[in-house]
Amino acid sequence: MPSKSQMPEWMKKKQQEMRLSEATEKDAERRKLAAALLIQSESPEFWKRLLDNLKLAVEALATIELTGSYSQIGLNAVRISMNHPDLFASRTHTDLFHETGRIRCATLGVGAYNLDFHVISETEVGVLDKHKGGSPMNADQASEYVVRRMVDFIERQRRTAG
């Protein structure tokens, strides 16, 4: 093998590119692992804050002329029910399931969607509906996102029924 001084210049550059590429790949793998560990450690706390915010939202539904309830339907699953107490009984519910890496949501009349966990900062995780895009949401924003979808559905039901 020739010494480095005898190596053609283009090969020296190629060797540097290969080292840089390898270091970049290792760094990306370290960041992925760190993100996965952060999501694993912080997602239970995020879930708890989300549920607390959803409970508050359900309690406040009367201020917008709706009623609702919050029910535990499993170890890591809840149901948020909502209705408008009118003649046409506009109603819906959303089931939320905390799973590894995401919160799976299914809303009656609206459909299913996932809120995937993403790293927001070195110490914080959020969720994102990848079909809607945008930035990851904190627990308060995620609660609003879930409840608004339900409120919007009930309002559409009432407009078409009336």
Q: Does residue 59 have a pLDDT over 80?
A: yes
Burial of 147 (0-12, 13-18, 19+ CB in 10 A): buried
Q: Does residue 61 have a pLDDT over 80?
A: yes
pLDDT tens-digit map of 15-54: 888 888 887 787 778 878 888 888 898 999 999 999 999 9
Q: CA of 42: how far to CAs of 69, 104, 120, 129, 162, in Å?
A: 27, 17, 11, 18, 45
pLDDT tens-digit map of 110-151: 999 999 999 998 889 999 998 888 899 999 999 999 999 999
Q: Does residue 4 have a pLDDT over 70?
A: no
Confidence tier at 3 by pLDDT (50, 70, 90): low
Confidence tier at 13 by pLDDT (50, 70, 90): confident
pLDDT tens-digit map of 69-105: 999 999 899 999 999 887 567 899 999 999 999 999 9
The three-class DSSP label of residue 39 is helix
Domain boundaries defined on the chain: 10-161
pLDDT at 1: 59
Given this structure, which CATH class describes domain 10-161? alpha beta
